[in-house]
Chain A
Amino acid sequence: GQQVMQIPQYQHVQEGEDFTTYCNSSTTLSNIQWYKQRPGGHPVFLIQLVKSGEVKKQKRLTFQFGEAKKNSSLHITATQTTDVGTYFCAGPRRGSARQLTFGSGTQLTVLP
């Protein structure tokens, strides 16, 4: 079945440092979505990427979708303590538009 992996599993950074999480799918994805889950919270939609090679920015967050549409990355510039949480990528299962397969997640800790 479809596998969506993320690395690293955990990342500790000093406030102000940059952070990157990488997402890799075993199959080509029609689109990829990113969600953030704060400790004790629920997943919150961040962004969707659809096109091969697409890059989108949201303030300090930069999202990229690979040329082969099998990988993606999220980069945070100058992390803040409010960035703490687990970042998940999610892609639709092959042949499905809405059955999302979530990645394993990267848990980000920002040290003040």
Chain B
Amino acid sequence: EPEVTQTPSHQVTQMGQEVILRCVPISNHLYFYWYRQILGQKVEFLVSFYNNEISEKSEIFDDQFSVERPDGSNFTLKIRSTKLEDSAMYFCASSGPAGTYEQYFGPGTRLTVT
């Protein structure tokens, strides 16, 4: 069964550094998403991406964040100048064609900012 993959599984970085989190969505999916989950809390939407551009973003997704689909398979989330409060699990998700709304999540990248 196809699945969303994410690398790395755990990233440790120092405050102020830039990180890039990588995702490979399910191959025939058209919509891509990033979510974050602070330990023990609910899942929070960051951004959705469709047709090579951001379609929606939340208040959390400020200028510190950017997304990119550099090739036909990868989908990346870049966090510039990380802060302690960026420590969280970051999930990538994808969903299929128009009319289908269920989202398939990857295993996540645990980001620890020290």
A residues contacting the other copy or chain, number (CB 8 A): 24
- B33 touching A98, Cβ below 8 Å: yes
- A99 touching B45, Cβ below 8 Å: yes
Tell me how far the C-beta of A89 lies from the nearest C-beta in chain B, rounded to whole angstroms.
10
From A14-22, A40-48, A53-61, A70-78, the one touching the partner chain is A40-48
Closest residue of chain A to B108, judged by CB?
A42
Tell me how far the C-beta of B6 lies from the nearest C-beta in chain A, rounded to whole angstroms.
9
One of B43, B56, B95, B101 near A43 (C-beta < 8 A): B43
Tell me, yes or no, whether B102 is within 8 Å of chain A by CB: yes
Tell me how far the C-beta of B47 lies from the nearest C-beta in chain A, rounded to whole angstroms.
9
Give the complex CA separation of A100 and B35 in angstroms.
10
**Interface secondary structure of A, over-half rule:** strand
Give the complex CA separation of A46 and B22 in angstroms.
25
- Residues of chain B with a CB closer than 8 A to A104's CB: 42
Interface string of A14-51 (1 = CB under 8 A from B): 00000000000000000101010100011111001000
18 contacts between A and B (CB under 8 A): A31-B101, A35-B43, A43-B91, A43-B105, A44-B105, A45-B102, A48-B102, A88-B42, A88-B43, A93-B45, A93-B56, A98-B33, A98-B55, A98-B103, A99-B56, A100-B45, A101-B45, A103-B42
Q: Which size class do B's interface residues fall under?
A: 20 to 34
User: What is B's interface to A at a CB cutoff of 8 Å?
Assistant: 31, 33, 42-45, 48, 55-56, 58, 91, 95, 101-108
- Residues of chain B with a CB closer than 8 A to A41's CB: 107
- B33 touching A42, Cβ below 8 Å: no
Tell me, yes or no, whether A85 is within 8 Å of chain B by CB: no
Closest residue of chain A to B44, judged by CB?
A102
- A42 touching B105, Cβ below 8 Å: yes
- Residues of chain A with a CB closer than 8 A to B44's CB: 102
Given A43-B43, A88-B42, the answer on whether A98 and B102 have CB atoms closer than 8 Å is no
Give the complex CA separation of A88 and B58 in angstroms.
19
